[in-house]
Structure 1
Amino acid sequence: MTMDTTLDHIAINGGRDVTGDIHISGSKNAGLALMAATLLAPGTTTIEGIPPLSDVNNMCRILRCLGADVSHVDDTLNIDTTQAKSHPIPEELGGRLRASILILGPLVARFGYAKLSLPGGCTIGKRPVEEHIRGIEKLGASVNLQDGYIEAHASTLRGAPVHLQTPSVTGTMSVLMAGCLARGVTRIQNAAREPEVVDLANFLISLGADISGMGTDQLTVVGRDAVLSPGQYKVMEDRIEAGTFLILGAICGNPLTVHRCKAEYHMVLIKQLRAVGALIDVSGNSIVVRKAEKPLPVDIKTGPYPAFPTDLQPQFMVLLSLACGQSQVVETIFESRFGHCSGLQAMGADVQINGQTAVVSGVEKLSAALVSGSDLRAAASLVLAAIAANGVSVVSGMRYVKRGYYDLEIKLEQIGVQLYRLPAIEKQQVPTQKQL
């Protein structure tokens, strides 16, 4: 898998408070599912609020490969799937994007056939596709996994009970979409409850689907013989981007106001931020965060929604690295999600890893360093650490950040972060504070 490495490094002059307003972009994770779901509705569907992130651009390429007409202007997508056909998706497309698996259900449901390469994405664990395969098989498809490709056939999908072994978000989404065109009733048990799943369900309902149970672990889909109808929809806000900025506010907000941020999506995070000592005021869909002057240690354990989100664990660890005491972080979702710890250690953090548990002993301050992010959230956490650290740090791996954070550098500059984008960096080329 190749990625654009242009301006892959960023130099940050840290150790200063941030203040001002942040406006959260539309959700990448929900948006990718909505894009896949347009395959169920021949015609032109308009989705508003989806920023042109690299993952979104990759999904656009996949839809075009299938014959869809896709235009993306600003944050509005127009997708016409009238002429779409089920073509094999090559590795150079599917291998770039974990969410490519989301087209499996819609393709089999509408065309009776799908062939795509095993999906790519961040290297943070196995991320198995078994739930997708098992779910589509329960609805009557035959699936073959060979030579790095998934191939599925079905003359007709039929509704059935589908019990997910784990509450997989994308697994739930796949079965939900396929069930819309399956004959009869599909009941998904142990379904993911994430707001992104609810957003997909609401989108499908707006296109004519019959779905109930949103927000619970029991989803019911009454299938139909006809395809869905195209429509217009605005994607929900990006929950993980919002959480990242809430954590930044707890580290050095003086104050930081995060707009388009529903507190109901962040109840566990807000509880933990307050336990650390951050001051948080909620006003409608805006949240004001003031930094914890002397952060307190807390223990967190990641889990499916509404538990603490795994996608915010690396960022929260930055805050814990500055706490006055010892914290424990238990990761239950991915087996390789401590890739950011080496970067934090290079900046002076005291982090000890034992299996799926990290013990974080807080230090008084972090120091500038050259660090590298190995995946999307790891790189984002190191950006937060660089903002907190004294001196000029250089973070590489910004290509990963661009997969999930739209205009991050611009938003950071707007709240007072001093930064400089770099196409390449050697140790002797690190900018000085005067250069920044």
Structure 2
Amino acid sequence: MKKLVIRGGKPLTGEITINGAKNSAVALIPAAIMADSEVVLEGVPDIQDVYSLLDILNDFNVKTEFKDNTLKIDPTNIASIPMPTGKIQSLRASYYFMGATLSKFGEGVIGLPGGCFLGPRPIDQHIKAFRSLGAQVDDDFGVITLTSPKGLQGTRIYMDVVSIGATINAILAAVKAEGKTTIENAAREPEIIDVVSLLTKMGAKIRGAGTSVIRIEGVEKLHGTSHTLIPDRIEAGTYLTAAVAMGDEVRVNNVIYEHIESYIAKLDEMGAKMEIGEDSILVHKSDNLQMVSLKTLPYPGFATDLQQPITPLLVKAMGKGTIMDTIYPQRVKHIPELNRMGANIRVDGDIIRVEGPSELSGAPVKASDLRAGASLVIAGLMADGETEITGVENILRGYTDIVGKLRALGADIEMFDDGQEEA
């Protein structure tokens, strides 16, 4: 068990470079097994979720090599092996193996995944898509068994709710289905375009990624290729928030502005001083922040994954504001921890009410999930005194070298194994 110790109040100065997108990587890696030769992914973040996926690939008899953010995946000798329990359940994104194995082998046995608990996240839309394509899907106490006795057939799939995971799984299952598939009310996130870019390079025929209607013409085979991941817009938003909170000239590099336009708009509204470059954003010292209200929505709206990281910044702002997370209304476990540090926040049904400004003080807190952990790191940087964060494993699932990156900006942050003496 690890813990982070942050001695807050230090101004941040310098440059930080954003890694490849976690939410792309966790879908691209399962997609790569559908090829019949080696796939090379560049810009893969060095995070725990990637290593969990590599463990799963190893069980499928897929050769991998991961070095300097370049991942080589050789599925030449892949075997159709049932994965009802164990590693497959260690992270939520392992559900992409359902679409990938169904497409590759016409079958699959996948245990339902874990990841951060953010309230109910049903996979009914995934299952509906598989069944629409002609698959037989059996759910036996969380173990999903997929078969396609007559082969998968192109069809029309309408998503009842906009879902990134279900859209990607439907694409994975449909790329080798016979005939044409249309996915309507599809999610539009940049990560979906990234997955489609890889599949297209592998030989898939897909049009409409980034719009709400995706059209797929089935192909018989997919081949190896190489692909570079898009930058991680959630990591970018997290570090931009830290820069607005505590920065004194911080440049965030490898950012696609259009991917976080809705987030930047909120920082602008608060009075943050930023210069938008071609692939970087320079944050100047930003004082006298004004409170805003925000609502999370499917892309291109305000991302639910940035709701928690922005909350400590709102604590610093003047006035009263509300947060409505329409994607995961139960994403509130960071609130009691922030209040322990001196924030004035309350959860009122599905609305988070924030009143500021409040001075934060260091305290022992726990990261209950990945983005709650990011929220507490930012709060620790802002707080007076020492903040000790446990549950660090959750943070390491999604942020590459968070300690090294923040220290390079001047933060006083250290990671310890529990029981290790603090230096």
Determine if the TM-score, normalized by the shorter chain, exceeds 0.5.
yes
Corresponding residue number in structure 2 for 1:420: 414
Q: Distance in 2 between matches of 1:292 and 1:305?
A: 27
Is 1:243 aligned to 2:233, yes or no?
no
Deviation at 1:51, TM superposition (A): 2.2
Corresponding residue number in structure 2 for 1:24: 18
Most deviating of 375-384 and 284-293: 284-293
Task: Give unmatched runs, 5+ long, in structure 2.
Answer: none
> 2:312 is matched with which residue: 312, 318, 324?
318
Deviation at 1:71, TM superposition (A): 1.4
- Contact 1:9 1:425 survives alignment (8 Å): no
> 1:59 is matched with which residue: 38, 53, 63?
53
Q: Distance in 2 between matches of 1:77 and 1:105?
A: 21
Q: Partner amino acid for 1:116?
A: I
Q: Distance in 1 between matches of 2:51 and 2:157?
A: 32
RMSD value over aligned CA atoms?
1.3
In the TM superposition, 1:170-189 aligns within 5 A as 170-189=165-184
In the TM superposition, 1:8-407 aligns within 5 A as 8-155=2-149, 156-224=151-219, 226-407=220-401
Q: Distance in 2 between matches of 1:422 and 1:355?
A: 37
Task: Describe the superposition over 1:35-82 as per-residue Cα deviations: whole angstroms up to 9, x where unpaired.
Answer: 111121111111111123111111111111112111111211111111
Aligned length: 422
Q: Distance in 1 between matches of 2:399 and 2:330?
A: 21
Q: Distance in 2 between matches of 1:17 and 1:130?
A: 47
Task: Describe the superposition over 1:225-272 as per-residue Cα deviations: whole angstroms up to 9, x where unpaired.
Answer: x22011111111111101101111111111111000011111111110
- Contact 1:276 1:292 survives alignment (8 Å): no
Deviation at 1:351, TM superposition (A): 0.4
- Contact 1:45 1:79 survives alignment (8 Å): yes
Deviation at 1:363, TM superposition (A): 2.7
Q: Distance in 2 between matches of 1:237 and 1:134?
A: 31
Deviation at 1:425, TM superposition (A): 6.2
Task: Give unmatched runs, 5+ long, in structure 1.
Answer: none
- What's the TM-score, normalizing by structure 2? 0.98
Most deviating of 341-350 and 78-87: 78-87
Q: Distance in 2 between matches of 1:91 and 1:373?
A: 26
Q: Distance in 2 between matches of 1:364 and 1:291?
A: 19
Q: Distance in 1 between matches of 2:129 and 2:55?
A: 26
Q: Partner amino acid for 1:86?
A: S
Q: Distance in 2 between matches of 1:363 and 1:267?
A: 25
Give SS of 2:152's match: coil
Deviation at 1:9, TM superposition (A): 0.6
Deviation at 1:422, TM superposition (A): 1.9
Give SS of 1:249's match: helix
Deviation at 1:28, TM superposition (A): 1.2
Give SS of 1:241's match: helix
Deviation at 1:361, TM superposition (A): 0.4
Q: Partner amino acid for 2:157?
A: V
Q: Distance in 1 between matches of 2:159 and 2:135?
A: 16
Q: Distance in 2 between matches of 1:231 and 1:35?
A: 13
Deviation at 1:318, TM superposition (A): 0.6
Q: Distance in 1 between matches of 2:419 and 2:336?
A: 19
Deviation at 1:17, TM superposition (A): 1.5
Q: Distance in 2 between matches of 1:317 and 1:425?
A: 31
Deviation at 1:291, TM superposition (A): 3.8
- What's the TM-score, normalizing by structure 1? 0.95
Q: Distance in 2 between matches of 1:240 and 1:234?
A: 17
Q: Partner amino acid for 2:80?
A: S
Q: Partner amino acid for 2:353?
A: V
Q: Partner amino acid for 1:363?
A: P
Deviation at 1:148, TM superposition (A): 2.1
- Contact 1:85 1:111 survives alignment (8 Å): no
Q: Distance in 2 between matches of 1:37 and 1:412?
A: 33
Q: Partner amino acid for 2:23?
A: N
- Contact 2:344 2:358 survives alignment (8 Å): no
Give SS of 1:94's match: helix
Deviation at 1:213, TM superposition (A): 0.7
Task: Describe the superposition over 1:141-191 as per-residue Cα deviations: whole angstroms up to 9, x where unpaired.
Answer: 010000220001003111111111111111100111111100111111111
Q: Partner amino acid for 2:91?
A: L
Q: Distance in 2 between matches of 1:127 and 1:148?
A: 13
Task: Describe the superposition over 1:370-404 as per-residue Cα deviations: whole angstroms up to 9, x where unpaired.
Answer: 11110000011000000000111111111111100
- Contact 1:51 1:74 survives alignment (8 Å): no
Give SS of 1:359's match: strand
